[in-house]
Structure 1
Amino acid sequence: MKTIRVAAFAALALSATVAAAWAQAAAPAAPAPTAAAPTPTFKRLELVKQMFPPEKYMTWMYMVVVEPGGTVPRHTHPGIEMGYLLEGEATLSVEGQPDLAMKPESTYNVPPGVPHSAKNNGAKPAKLIATFVVEKDKPLASPAPN
């Protein structure tokens, strides 16, 4: 009887080992580590979103904060962008125009479809209010090639 128990235990242990090895071999390989995504250097907080003028356009107002040394990558909008810098310093680069060095109370506008980017050159966050008026069925922004 003792021999049967030992044999049964050995068979059970062997089958558990084989099952574990088979499951490990069948498991998909862990993905290779990838580089961490870059930390965003700007953020947008939606303040208002409303259809205006009614039926055809959407108007957005955002608070945008660009961290010191941070950038807003080159992009376009299918409508106009207008803004007002509340705090900090930034340089706005609009294709076809000279760079605009902005300080508090500076205003700007970017025509529809024109590639542009921004950089915070200061030591503290640049905070601005940006307003966009775009056709309601179009995306607010799209990346623009360099």
Structure 2
Amino acid sequence: MTPFGAQPAFRLEVEVRPPEALDPVSGGPVRLVSITGGRVSGAIAGVILPGGTDWQTLGPDGTIGIEARYLLELNDGTRVELQSRGRRSGQAGGFWSTIWLNCTNPAHAHLNGAQFLAWGVKADRGVEIAAYALPESGAQA
């Protein structure tokens, strides 16, 4: 899938633990998914540091609201905060989300104003995400 006729600005391979319900008796409606690591490749490249979290809100219709926040460490040592928010239908094979990045390194300041539309799918060890720069953001990552 390539929105806007574009190639992904970057790809994420996010490694996660199994979801944990905040209320173990009822099994939800909110569960946490701990991020244990991973990789980022493309216009920005590096690793995903352990310690991030994906909060998932389970809807009565099977819809899952997704809000994630984690930290990337680029190959040059720059740390970049990633925030993502999306929604997946219970029957969907994947999900759309939006991504914002934030860092303090002036060499990567262009990431702070960028917005990305992302397509994610479940993988063996977690989630694979392709992030596309929104045209109006002017970002190439």
TM-score w.r.t. structure 2 length? 0.31
Which structure carries more strand by proportion? 2
Whose relative contact order is higher, 1 or 2, with alpha carbons under 8 Å and at least 6 apart? 1
Which structure carries more helix by proportion? 1
TM-score w.r.t. structure 1 length? 0.30
